Amino acid sequence: MKLFQWISSSLRTKLLTMFVILTSIPLIAVGLVSYQKSYNTISGHNKAATLLVADQLARNVDILFQDTGKLLELGKNPQVLHFLYSQSETYGDAKEILRTFDLYRQTYKYDSVLNISMTNLYGKGISERKGVFQLEHNPLRNPHFLYLMDHPDAILNVPPTDASVWDRLDGFSYPQQNVITIIAAVKQRITHEVIGFMTIDLDDSVVEHFIDNVAIGKTGYFYVVDQNGSPIFRPTAQQSKAVPAFKSIIEQSAQHGSFVHTSVGKPQFVVYTTSQATGWKIIGIAPLQEIVEDANKIRQLIIFSVALSIIFTITLYFFITARLTRPIRLLKNKMRLAAAGNLEAKVKPSGNDEIADLGISFNIMLAKIKALLEQSIREQEQIQKAELRTLQAQINPHFLYNTLESIVWMAEAGKKEPVIQLVKALSQFFRISLNKGRDWISIKTELEHVQSYLVIQQMRYRDILDYRIEVADAIQSYPILKMTLQPLVENALYHGIKNKRGKGLIQISGYEDTADSLILTVEDNGIGMSEARLAEVRSYLDIMRENHHLADDTDFGFGLSNVHHRLRLYFGPQYGLEVDSEEQVGTRVTIRIPKR
């Protein structure tokens, strides 16, 4: 919430927000799309390249075994067939067979072939290293030979881990080397009956050389597992370490593929392929971070570019807004001063742009506002004075009418002395009322004015009217608008006491309410008002308080409405009259005026 308030607090902040949003969103969107595309492309290329390396490694292994497999053609040589089929010693055939072995070696350069040997079903055999030999045990005890008896067309590629657990056919061992053995059945030409077996021993360092010379990323490596998932070849650096078997790769029928392994530690990228010649799986494994390293570099470059663009945008914003918003901020400050009442807060426009024109218009506006205010003040003063004169003109004739009516009545009754006394009181009353044209008198003089009025009215209503004035001496020197109390006393007489049976009492009191205001009350014990009638009176005064004019309803008398309106015109809405009344008990009108 505070963030939105800060953004909307100034034009400069809005411009900054707009600059950043309009720049950042497209850059971030383009960056995300570019990163996603580049990540997918580069990681896809890296994964494909790794898979190609694995396939190439598998092809190298296949080529090795295919080339070596050409030696199996020796099983079709007549001398070999005769040697294996014959039970007698055939020195010439053996010599010819060994010469043929040597011919193949010279022709195909089999540097990785350690030995070639053949044996028949009875243990008679021949090999490069040992020559003609006779096995001491039945060859069919060997499980591989038994398998070839049932599957004579198969070619077995026995890894070193397996070749080390069964006796060599010719009794020859390789204590310093691990060997891969290729085994195939030798069949009679016509009947295709198995008459013997041919074995080729390969130095496994050739396959290990392939594994050592190929890597994935910086720390990745390849290794080979057999059809059961047991590792048979691994890099030299990984000889002492365990490698994952990935049984799922062995169980699935796919020949090659890749996936991300996340079950343990950091994500690992795994690629695998299958050697067609051996059925072994070549598995490559490397941290995924290394495979997508190039894509991550592009991501960092994109993030740096976006951040640099945002910084450049913000710098450009400050450069632009320093020239654009400075005159606007100056104009805003001047407007605030003008709103606070300082109409002299004019702008000194610079330049010829729209903001300079706005400053000139603002100065013209202030000048016109100042002139209009001065004119309005003069007119308001004249209006208030005219309205006050009108209100007093309404009060005085009304009172004069009532008083003259009393004089006429007393003269008709032949009361000479009371008439003289009444005329003197009336003269005193009007002397104070005129007050040489001044609107203000002291509270003491206003009380004398009221007392003259009460004397006049008491002479007329002697049997029903009594009065009491109890105003603190301390406040009698304060000024008050003349003709403030008299209309209220008149209203109490005509609307309260006159309609009551028995003698009534009008009581005038006054005191200091606060340090700034005075309270005067006019209270009678007349008939009072019902709650509904009191609500109407208060509503009537509230209407006057909002509308600032007199209503035409005269049921409440001129005095109450006129006094309330005059006080509010001079002193403001916090001053005026408050009315409280209770039926058959009386009415109290409270006057609140300032001490000034």
Whether 536 and 544 have beta carbons less than 8 Å apart is answered as no
Helix extents (H) in 164-240: 205-212
Would you state the pLDDT for residue 165? 41
Instruction: Render pLDDT for 531-570 as a digit per residue (tens, 0 to 9).
Output: 888 888 888 777 755 554 444 444 454 567 778 877 887 8
Last residue of a domain, one of 161, 177, 207: 207
Name the residue with higher pLDDT: 410 or 98. Answer: 98
What one-letter code names the amino acid at 35? Y
| Cα–Cα distance measured from residue 555 to residue 537, given in angstroms and rounded to the nearest whole number | 10
State what percent of residues in the chain have pLDDT above 90: 11
Last residue of a domain, one of 207, 237, 253: 207
Query: Could you tell me which residue, 38 or 529, shows the higher pLDDT?
Result: 529
- On whether residue 499 sits in a domain, the answer given is yes
Would 161 be classed as within a structural domain? yes
Q: What 8-state DSSP symbol labels residue 493?
A: I
Q: Which two tokens stand for residue 571?
A: 């002193």
- pLDDT at residue 552, as a whole number: 44
pLDDT band at 184 (very low <50, low <70, confident <90, very high): very high
* Confidence band for 139, pLDDT divided at 50, 70 and 90: confident
pLDDT of residue 469: 93
Is residue 255, in this structure, part of any structural domain at all?
Answer: no
Q: Which whole number is the average pLDDT over 227-246?
A: 79
What per-residue confidence (pLDDT) applies to 239? 73
Structural domain range at position 505 = 377-594
Residue pair 282/271 in contact by the 8 Å Cβ criterion: no
Residue 4 above 70 pLDDT? no
CATH number at residue 95: 3.30.450.20
**Whole-number Å distance between alpha carbons of 286 and 216:** 6
Indicate whether 166 pLDDT > 50: no
* Segment among 24-38, 137-151, 469-483 with least mean pLDDT: 24-38
Q: Is the pLDDT assigned to residue 355 strictly greater than 60?
A: yes
pLDDT digit string (tens) for 280-312? 888 888 888 887 777 777 777 878 887 887 788
Average pLDDT across the chain, whole number: 80
379 pLDDT above the threshold of 80? no
314 in any annotated domain: no
- Give the tens place of pLDDT for each residue, 414-467: 878 878 887 888 887 777 776 656 778 899 998 988 888 888 888 777 788 899
Domain count along the chain: 2
Q: Is residue 538 part of a domain?
A: yes
pLDDT at 197 over 90: yes
pLDDT at 545: 52
> What do you get for the CA distance between the two ends of the chain, in Å?
48
Is the CB of residue 19 less than 8 Å from the CB of residue 313? yes
Q: Higher-confidence residue: 66 or 394?
A: 66
Residue 248 to residue 140: CA distance in whole angstroms: 35
CA-to-CA distance for 175 and 350, rounded, in angstroms?
Answer: 100
Q: What is the pLDDT of residue 7?
A: 55
Domain containing residue 463: CATH number: 3.30.565.10
Residues 6+ apart with CB under 8 A from 263: none
Please determine, for residue 20, whether its predicted confidence score (pLDDT) is greater than 90. Answer: no
**578 is a domain residue:** yes
Residue predicted with more confidence, 391 or 28 = 28
257 conformational bin, left if phi > 0, alpha if psi -120 to 50, beta if neither: left
**236 domain-assigned:** no
Last residue of a domain, one of 187, 207, 227: 207
pTM for the predicted model, two decimal places: 0.50
Q: Judge whether 142 lies within some domain.
A: yes
